């Protein structure tokens, strides 16, 4: 089973001063419909990760010093990404269960839905 946090746990982390990376692996056009506004948000679409590998990750994520919470629309792409990152040696990486859609429903409707 993959390491996972709930959208409510993510919401609490977003309210904190904790340093981490929220990695959104959705495609760029999806960000127009729903997006979490936070300074810790980084975007690396799964298609880019598939094409470029680890070099597509933001520098801070490649360093591996911060927790990495991976988000997509419903949770499939983020789970795939977390499994791949673990296979690449990442240790502190977590899938955001239910994705941004669940986040919008359960934690913050202002992010939007599609």
Delimit the domains of the chain by residue range.
4-111
Length of the chain: 114
C-alpha to C-alpha distances, 79 to 17, 40, 73, 109, nearest whole angstrom? 25, 20, 11, 23
Q: Kindly state the percentage of the chain with pLDDT values over 90.
A: 97
CATH homologous superfamily for 4-111?
Answer: Rhodanese-like domain (3.40.250.10)
pLDDT band at 64 (very low <50, low <70, confident <90, very high): confident
Confidence check: pLDDT of 47 > 90: yes
pLDDT for the residue numbered 92: 95
pTM for the model stands at 0.96
DSSP 44-60: --HHHHHHHGGGGS-HH
């Amino acid at each position: 089973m993959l390491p996972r946090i709930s959208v409510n746990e993510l919401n609490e982390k977003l309210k904190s001063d904790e340093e981490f990376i929220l990695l959104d692996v959705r495609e760029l056009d999806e960000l127009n419909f729903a997006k979490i506004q936070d300074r810790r948000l980084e975007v690396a679409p799964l298609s880019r990760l598939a094409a470029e590998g680890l070099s597509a990750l933001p520098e801070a994520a490649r360093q591996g010093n911060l927790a990495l919470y991976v988000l997509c629309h419903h949770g499939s792409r983020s789970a795939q990404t977390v499994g791949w990152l673990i296979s690449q040696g990442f240790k502190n990486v977590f899938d955001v269960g239910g994705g941004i859609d669940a986040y919008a429903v359960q934690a913050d409707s202002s992010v939007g839905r599609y």
